């Protein structure tokens, strides 16, 4: 027992009691603070440590051609999300995150700062299309970096080598800067939207609706269950009017040369092919284009981002003479107008030369000869007699100087000058001398290839002007705001006799004696008009050196149709610095030939009944007397023929780079990398024919070639047997020409 002297003093005991009381008071205060004062705050933290919100991104709809073949598809990949609803100091983790994802820490912190004003429940897309080592980094740092998450994303897979690049367009992420603009205010950061082409115009159809998933996670961030699942709604497919076989033929016809091709059905405005070169690779935009690549594209003098089919405003040259002929005949002037071409004509004290100047003259010229030999002197005279007001009237009725309404963004309107136009834009009066150059498609006239295709198509369709379009309107969902009525047609009055005169003269353009004889297609009713347009004035060219002149070669134009009247197809070709229209005509003939061969090899009822054998058919055709379609004594003939009904043509299965894509090839993040890269050219580009200067006589035809003969309408022949594979279009047989 303790003695009296060993007892604890009352003061010390009291002190211990107070200390214990203080400890209990502190514990009680902490318990009150946790359970009562800040219960909501800590409950929220506990909930966030248990529940994670994961977005589910909707795949965009596929883009198909008119026959349902795939043009644009999707492939799976992984993206990294930064979940900002975690109560962590994200700036403190920036260095570790940046090192694991191969990013710059300063760039990451800057993005976090810009996103500070955005609600915290919206995740930040840190990086797209991550590599396997970056995926492994995230998985191994789940505990240290719970704010990082991985999401499966369907990326766009586009055709290789810029195939249809300007028609399709490309997609991109909604950036912080875009959110400040009214048209993007309903989107979220990181949303994938169309930026150009069909991807942009039909974004509301192609873009689906994102879903979300609430999952249970443990303390290490591993998912252990699902609370709520809102599935994503995929975007709808878009079926276009494009014919892949014809598109391939158009791409091949233009390959290696800057310019554009538009192939359209003038009966309804459906665009079957559209090409613009040089092009870009949309796959570069499918993830995120680098700054260096973007700078290269916007500084390229060839303007690869420009869709020249709808955005190149250039002088149409002699193609405009078809519009001039329509105006002259409808006004009753051109029927009896005969002009003696002496290599040019003088108007208002100034000599305007014809393209043939220095090599002879066209002699006595009427309207038909003026078209197929493209006599400038004739159309100078016709322009003087018509005046700018009547020229502008017919050109405007045929759609020049205004947008066609095609379903692609950023189409330009071109220029059709008039007295009112000059006063409105320059506050100056129109001088009669300016009308002369307009008569041959020069001066202030500026058109796009699609405008010329529409206008010439309308003339050969006996005045039916249609609205070009790339998508079938019957697939649009209810409530879709359609900008234009694609079934809209305008009837322009053209007398039948005038219509026949113009179309027959256009057929002679691609016959011996015409300006594009080398584009002639045996057995195909093919008509058109060539054009070559200056890029600088003759006065300026005289002051240039030879090297400088090479930088400003004339543009080559051609617009062709098949058949000549009520055509099924109109093709407009622009060759920048192509110098002569017959080069463009040869490109058009490839597209025309591919179309006709495909139509001839389609399986018909006759072919089905005679599969794998010969079929007997009867034919009736119209043959001009002596091969001259301008003579009145024409003959109607008939015949009995046997044709091949085997139907061996094999159409393209999908766009280039799309047919070989299989699901098993797209299960890892590495598989899609090769598919997104353009294929290297396996063969050298074929050498182009040597060009000659404006007005120079054509080189002599090689002796082994048969001489050009008088044009005749051939009887129906059996269709050529195409090789297996996509329908191609071999180059037309070369013939001598008389015009650049």
Label the pairing between strands 238-239 and 63-64. parallel
pLDDT confidence of residue 690: 34
Identify the CA nearest to 598 among candidates 642, 550, 651, 634: 651
Label the pairing between strands 192-194 and 171-173. antiparallel
CA-angle at 279, arms to 276 and 280, nearest 5°: 150
Is the same domain home to 470 and 371? yes
Is the same domain home to 31 and 60? no
Would 358 be classed as within a structural domain?
yes
Is the same domain home to 539 and 654? yes
Identify the CA nearest to 463 among candidates 493, 498, 500: 493
Q: What is the pLDDT of residues 99-138, one digit of tens each?
A: 788 888 888 887 777 777 666 666 777 777 788 888 888 8
The pTM for the full model equals 0.76
pLDDT confidence of residue 511: 93
Q: In terms of residue numbers, what domain contains 38? A: 13-49
pLDDT confidence of residue 710: 36
Identify the CA nearest to 225 among candidates 23, 417, 50, 407: 50
Is the same domain home to 25 and 139? no
Measure the CA–CA gap between 447 and 572, rounded to whole angstroms.
12
pLDDT confidence of residue 579: 76
Label the pairing between strands 555-562 and 527-533. antiparallel
Is the same domain home to 27 and 138? no
Identify the CA nearest to 153 among candidates 659, 669, 662, 655: 669
Q: What is the pLDDT of residues 580-596, one digit of tens each?
A: 888 999 999 999 999 99
- Asked if 368 and 338 touch (Cβ cutoff 8 Å), the reply is no
Report how far apart, in Å, the C-alpha atoms of 317 and of each of 172, 440, 689 are.
38, 6, 22
Q: What tokens appear for 53 in the block?
A: 């919100």
Q: Beta-strand (E) ranges in 326-378?
A: 339-341, 344-347, 350-353, 363-365
Would 616 be classed as within a structural domain?
no
Is the same domain home to 223 and 288? no
Tally the domains of the chain.
3
Q: Using omega within 30 degrees of 0 as the cis cutoff, is the peptide bond preceding 230 cis?
A: no
Measure the CA–CA gap between 238 and 226, rounded to whole angstroms.
34
Domain final residue pick, 213, 239, 265 = 239
pLDDT confidence of residue 654: 72
pLDDT confidence of residue 674: 29
| Sheet containing strand 51-56, strands side by side | 51-56, 211-217, 223-230
pLDDT confidence of residue 661: 44
pLDDT confidence of residue 667: 35
Would 714 be classed as within a structural domain?
no
pLDDT confidence of residue 56: 81
Is the same domain home to 231 and 316? no
CA-angle at 236, arms to 234 and 240, nearest 5°: 150
CATH code for the domain in which residue 504 is found: 3.40.710.10
pLDDT confidence of residue 346: 94
Is the same domain home to 221 and 131? yes
Measure the CA–CA gap between 562 and 583, rounded to whole angstroms.
18
pLDDT along the chain (740 residues), means of 10: 61 78 82 73 59 79 94 88 69 79 81 71 74 83 78 87 94 80 78 91 90 70 71 92 96 91 96 95 84 89 93 94 97 95 92 87 94 95 96 96 94 95 94 94 95 97 95 84 76 95 96 92 94 71 60 86 95 88 92 93 67 71 58 67 64 67 38 32 36 36 36 36 35 37
Would 560 be classed as within a structural domain?
yes
CATH code for the domain in which residue 55 is found: 3.90.1310.10
Measure the CA–CA gap between 13 and 7, rounded to whole angstroms.
10
Measure the CA–CA gap between 686 and 614, rounded to whole angstroms.
37
Is the same domain home to 400 and 504? yes
CA-CA-CA-CA torsion sign (81, 87, 89, 91):
positive
Is the same domain home to 30 and 100? no
Domain final residue pick, 239, 274, 291 = 239
Residue 140 neighbours by CB distance under 10 Å: 11
Would 291 be classed as within a structural domain?
yes
Residue for token pair 């930040």: 124
Is the same domain home to 197 and 259? no
Would 91 be classed as within a structural domain?
yes
- The β-bridge partners of 33 are none
Measure the CA–CA gap between 120 and 47, rounded to whole angstroms.
16
Would 468 be classed as within a structural domain?
yes
Would 715 be classed as within a structural domain?
no
Domain final residue pick, 204, 239, 274 = 239
Categorise residue 385: left if φ over 0, alpha if ψ from -120 to 50, beta otherwise.
alpha
* Burial (Cβ within 10 Å: 0-12, 13-18, ≥19) of residue 583: buried
Identify the CA nearest to 337 among candidates 382, 384, 281: 382
pLDDT confidence of residue 485: 74
Is the same domain home to 186 and 253? no
């Amino acid at each position: 027992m303790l003695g009296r002297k060993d007892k604890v003093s009352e003061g010390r005991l009291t002190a211990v009691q107070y200390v214990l009381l203080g400890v209990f008071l502190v514990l009680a205060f902490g318990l009150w603070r946790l359970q009562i004062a800040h219960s909501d705050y800590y409950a929220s933290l506990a909930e966030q440590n248990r529940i994670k919100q994961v977005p589910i991104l909707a795949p965009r709809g596929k883009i198909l051609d008119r026959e349902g073949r795939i043009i644009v598809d999707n492939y799976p990949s992984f993206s990294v999300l930064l979940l900002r609803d975690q109560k962590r100091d994200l700036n403190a983790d920036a260095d570790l995150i940046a090192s694991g994802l191969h990013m710059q820490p300063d760039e990451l912190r800057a993005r976090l700062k810009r996103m500070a004003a955005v609600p915290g429940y919206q995740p930040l897309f840190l990086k797209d299309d991550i590599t396997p080592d970056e995926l492994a980094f995230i998985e191994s740092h789940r505990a240290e970096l719970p704010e990082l998450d991985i999401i499966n994303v369907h990326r766009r897979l586009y055709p290789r080598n810029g195939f249809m690049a300007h028609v399709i367009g490309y997609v991109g992420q909604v950036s912080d800067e875009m959110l400040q603009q009214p048209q993007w205010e309903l989107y979220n950061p990181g949303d994938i939207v169309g930026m150009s082409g069909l991807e942009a115009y039909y974004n509301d159809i192609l873009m689906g609706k994102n879903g979300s998933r609430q999952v249970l996670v443990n303390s290490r961030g591993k998912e252990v269950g699902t609370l709520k699942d809102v599935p994503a709604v995929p975007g709808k497919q878009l079926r276009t009017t494009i014919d892949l076989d014809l598109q391939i033929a158009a791409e091949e016809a233009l390959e290696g040369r800057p310019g554009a091709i538009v192939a359209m059905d003038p009966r309804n405005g459906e665009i079957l092919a559209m090409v613009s070169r040089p092009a870009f690779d949309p796959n570069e935009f499918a993830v995120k284009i680098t700054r260096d690549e973007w700078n290269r594209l916007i500084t390229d003098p060839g303007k690869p981002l420009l869709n020249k089919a709808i955005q190149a405003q250039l002088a149409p040259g002699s193609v405009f003479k078809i519009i001039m002929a329509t105006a002259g005949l409808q006004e009753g002037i051109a029927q009896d107008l005969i002009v003696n071409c002496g290599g040019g004509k003088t108007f208002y004290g100034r000599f305007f030369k014809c393209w043939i100047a220095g090599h002879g003259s066209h002699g006595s010229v009427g309207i038909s000869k003026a078209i197929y030999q493209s006599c400038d002197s004739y159309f100078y005279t016709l322009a003087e007699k018509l005046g700018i007001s009547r020229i502008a009237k017919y050109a405007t009725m045929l759609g020049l100087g205004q947008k066609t309404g095609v379903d692609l963004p950023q189409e330009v309107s071109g220029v059709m000058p008039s007295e009112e136009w000059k006063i409105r834009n320059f506050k100056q009066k129109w001088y009669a001398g300016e009308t002369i150059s307009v008569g041959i498609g020069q001066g202030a006239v500026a058109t796009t290839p699609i405008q010329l295709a529409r206008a010439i198509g309308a003339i050969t369709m006996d005045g039916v002007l249609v609205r070009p379009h790339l998508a079938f309107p019957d697939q649009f969902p209810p409530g879709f705001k359609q900008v234009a009525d694609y079934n809209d047609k305008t009837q322009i009055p053209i007398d039948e006799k005038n219509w026949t005169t113009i179309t027959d003269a256009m057929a002679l353009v691609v016959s011996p004696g015409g300006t594009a004889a080398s584009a002639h297609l045996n057995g195909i009713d093919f008509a058109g008009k060539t054009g070559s347009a200056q890029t600088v004035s003759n006065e300026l060219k005289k002051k240039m050196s030879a090297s400088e002149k090479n930088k400003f070669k004339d543009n080559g134009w051609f617009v062709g149709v098949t058949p000549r009247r009520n055509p099924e197809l109109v093709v407009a070709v622009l060759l920048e610095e192509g110098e002569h229209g017959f080069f463009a005509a040869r490109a058009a003939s490839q597209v025309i030939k591919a179309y006709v061969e495909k139509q001839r090899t389609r399986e018909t009822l006759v072919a089905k009944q005679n599969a794998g054998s010969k079929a007997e058919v009867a034919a009736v055709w119209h043959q001009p007397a002596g091969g001259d379609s301008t003579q009145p004594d024409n003959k109607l003939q008939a015949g009995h023929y046997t044709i091949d009904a085997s139907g061996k043509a094999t159409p393209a299965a999908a766009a280039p780079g799309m047919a070989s894509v299989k699901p098993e090839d797209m299960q890892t993040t590495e598989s899609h990398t090769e598919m997104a890269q353009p294929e290297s050219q396996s063969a050298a580009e074929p050498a182009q024919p040597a060009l000659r200067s404006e007005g120079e006589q054509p080189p002599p035809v090689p002796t082994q070639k048969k001489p050009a003969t008088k044009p005749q309408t051939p009887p129906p022949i059996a269709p050529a047997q195409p090789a297996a594979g996509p329908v191609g279009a071999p180059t037309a047989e070369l013939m001598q020409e008389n015009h650049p």
